[in-house]
Each structure stands twice: as structure tokens, then as C-alpha cells.
Structure 1
Amino acid sequence: MDGISPKTLSLRLKELENHGIVERKVFPEVPPRVEYTLTEKGKRLESIFIELKRFGLNL
């Protein structure tokens, strides 16, 4: 991802996983592949993020 270092991205994803916002799925492939998906808890945050974006655009 542009604009974020791999280390920072990894730390943030671990935090989100620890809080139950995303789930991590590891695939037994070479090279290793990992996918993250939103949990139900994470999906419930969508409307909050939309409102925060609207607020920020109107500052």
C-alpha cells in the first residue's frame, strides 16, 4: 500500500485483529499469502467512518 510502511501496516492490522475488527486468514502457499476481512464488528463501524469522512470534508 502506498503511504504506509510494511511495518506500520502490519502493526495496525494486528491491532485491528486483536480488537476483533478484522480476521486474518493465512493460505498455505509459497510465497505465503494472507488475507484480511472485516468481522461483523468491523462492518458495524462503516457508518461511523462515513460520517467522520463527511465531517472532515466540511472542515
Structure 2
Amino acid sequence: MKKEDSKCIDSFQCNVEKALNIIGGKWSFLIIKHLFDGTMRFGEIRKALHNISPKTLTSCLRDLEKNDILTRKVYPTIPPAVEYTLTEKGRDLNNIINEMKLWGKKWT
């Protein structure tokens, strides 16, 4: 592949691709959706998502934290309590997710 082939040619396409890379797949999307209701602990998120493995959930949460979509707060208890909260950047996805919900309701 040539170097210029890996560059985005169309800014619309680039911006959509960047957004999808940050939001990630199905699980990340659902994590974000649940965090719109407020701060949640690891176990609460896992219970809300039913079929997600702890390993997958941990990976998704780390990716979302790395992309500044959520923050992770650890409390010094035994065992440690960890809470996840959407950042301003994460909360800004609310309109997009609501539009996707409306589209899904209409077309599926």
C-alpha cells in the first residue's frame, strides 16, 4: 500500500472513521449508552450488558478511557471500588446515540 493510500482523501469520511474508531464496536457503544444515566461500577455495567465477559468489558473500558470518553475513579477499599463516568466528550455522543435509536426503531 502506498503512503498516500492510507491518508483520508475526503474529510467527511475521515471524521466518520475517526468517530467510529473512538466509539468502537457494539460493547463500547452499549457501555456509553448505559453511562448516560450516570456513574456506574464495573459490576453494574457488566450486569446491564448481560453477555459481556469481564475481559471484554475491561478492554472496552480501557479503550474508552484512553479516548477520553469516560473517567475511571478508584476508591481505596478492599476490594477496590471502581466507578466509571462519562466525560464531557462522552456525554456529547448523546445526540448521535439518540438518533441511532430513532433510526433503529423506524427501520428495524
TM-score range (shorter-chain normalised) is over 0.9
Determine what percentage of the aligned residue pairs are the same residue.
51
* Bigger-Rg structure (1/2): 2
Q: Which has the higher helix share?
A: 2
Instruction: Flag structure 1 segments of 5+ consecutive residues without an equivalent.
Output: none
1:57 matches 2:89: no
Runs (4+) of structure 1 moved beyond 4 Å?
none
Provide the residue aligned with 1:22 in structure 2: 70
Distance apart, 1:35 and its partner CA: 0.3
Instruction: Give me the TM-score of the superposition, normalised by structure 2.
Output: 0.53
Instruction: Flag structure 2 segments of 5+ consecutive residues without an equivalent.
Output: 1-45
CA RMSD between the two structures:
0.7
Q: Which has the higher strand share?
A: 1
Cα shift readout 1:3-59 (whole Å, capped 9, x = no counterpart): 101100000000100100000000000011100000000010011001111111222
What number of residue pairs does the alignment pair up?
59
Provide the residue aligned with 1:36 in structure 2: 84
Q: Partner letter of residue 57 of structure 1? A: K
